[in-house]
């Protein structure tokens, strides 16, 4: 197994949309608007002390999406691509902790489909955390030797443009959650 660290920085805002309804239910006499106003910060993925982190699965899913999207062919293997190698042979174990707390994150009010499905006739106001700038060191654990450092770096770079992370990311038709690579190193 090889481990690579990518130092990333944002090129667009990042927004989270964690579901918090079970942990923070709406009070019986509370309107939907009042509930959203009271609880919107819980859309953040945060540690018990309030520091916001990016779940590692967001980077893993972004790379898996990008591998499918690009379908880069393996040299000397005909039409075989790296897709299955990224799906099964790559781990992102730790989510980077950002330099902002849940209480300090600004909100962005958007008018969205009530059930989260496009084309719904019912729209409501929701507030989501919006982090304008972020930097993070992300560790990629490569289990499949087919994925070289060069191939991984290319896919991480392209995932920052085409996959993204979080709510309203490029893979879902948005433009948030994009990044660029500042440094990329093999550490073990």
Reduced to 3 states, what is the DSSP secondary structure of residue 81? strand
Query: Do residues 134 and 44 lie in contact, with contact meaning Cβ atoms separated by under 8 Å?
Result: no
Helices (H), ranges, 10-117: 32-39, 56-70, 83-88
Q: Which of 94, 100, 98, 72 shows the shortest CA–CA distance to 85?
A: 72
Structural domain count of the chain = 1
Task: Tell me the per-residue pLDDT of 117-142, one tens digit each, with 9 for 90 and over.
Answer: 777 778 889 999 999 999 999 999 99
Task: Determine the pLDDT at residue 113.
Answer: 86
**Strand pairing class (2-10; 135-142):** antiparallel
Task: Determine the pLDDT at residue 53.
Answer: 98
Query: Do residues 141 and 152 lie in contact, with contact meaning Cβ atoms separated by under 8 Å?
Result: no
Edge-to-edge strands, sheet with 179-186: 90-91, 135-142, 2-10, 179-186
Question: Does the structure show a pLDDT above 90 at 90?
Answer: yes
Task: Tell me the per-residue pLDDT of 16-65, one tens digit each, with 9 for 90 and over.
Answer: 999 999 999 999 999 989 999 999 999 999 999 999 999 999 999 999 99
pTM value?
0.92
Task: Determine the pLDDT at residue 122.
Answer: 85
Percentage above 70 pLDDT, the chain: 99
Task: Determine the pLDDT at residue 25.
Answer: 94
Task: Determine the pLDDT at residue 77.
Answer: 86
Task: Tell me the per-residue pLDDT of 145-155, one tens digit each, with 9 for 90 and over.
Answer: 999 999 999 99
CA distance 69 to 159: 10
Sequence-ordered strand ranges (E) for 40-178:
51-53, 90-91, 97-101, 107-113, 123-131, 135-142
Task: Tell me the per-residue pLDDT of 57-87, one tens digit each, with 9 for 90 and over.
Answer: 999 999 999 999 999 999 888 899 999 999 9
Task: Tell me the per-residue pLDDT of 107-121, one tens digit each, with 9 for 90 and over.
Answer: 999 998 877 677 777
Domain region containing 97: 2-186
Spatial CB neighbours of 20, under 8 Å, sequence gap ≥ 6: 39, 42, 43
Task: Determine the pLDDT at residue 60.
Answer: 97
């Amino acid at each position: 197994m090889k481990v690579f660290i990518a130092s990333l920085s944002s090129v667009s805002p990042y927004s989270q949309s964690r579901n918090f309804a079970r942990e923070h239910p709406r009070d019986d006499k509370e309107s939907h608007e009042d509930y959203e106003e009271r609880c919107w910060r819980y859309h953040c993925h945060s540690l018990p002390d309030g520091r916001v982190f990016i779940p590692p699965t967001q980077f893993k899913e972004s790379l898996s999406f990008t591998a499918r999207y690009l379908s880069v062919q393996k040299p000397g293997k005909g039409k075989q691509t790296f897709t299955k190698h990224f799906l099964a042979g790559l781990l992102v174990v730790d989510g980077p902790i950002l330099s902002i707390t849940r209480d300090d994150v600004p909100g962005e009010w958007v008018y969205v489909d009530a059930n989260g499905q496009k084309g719904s006739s019912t729209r409501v106001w929701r507030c989501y955390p919006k982090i304008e700038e972020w930097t993070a060191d992300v560790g990629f654990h490569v289990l499949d030797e087919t994925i070289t450092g060069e191939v991984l770096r290319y896919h991480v770079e392209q995932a920052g443009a085409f996959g993204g992370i979080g709510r309203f990311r490029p893979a879902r038709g948005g433009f948030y959650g994009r990044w660029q690579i500042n440094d990329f190193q093999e550490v073990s």
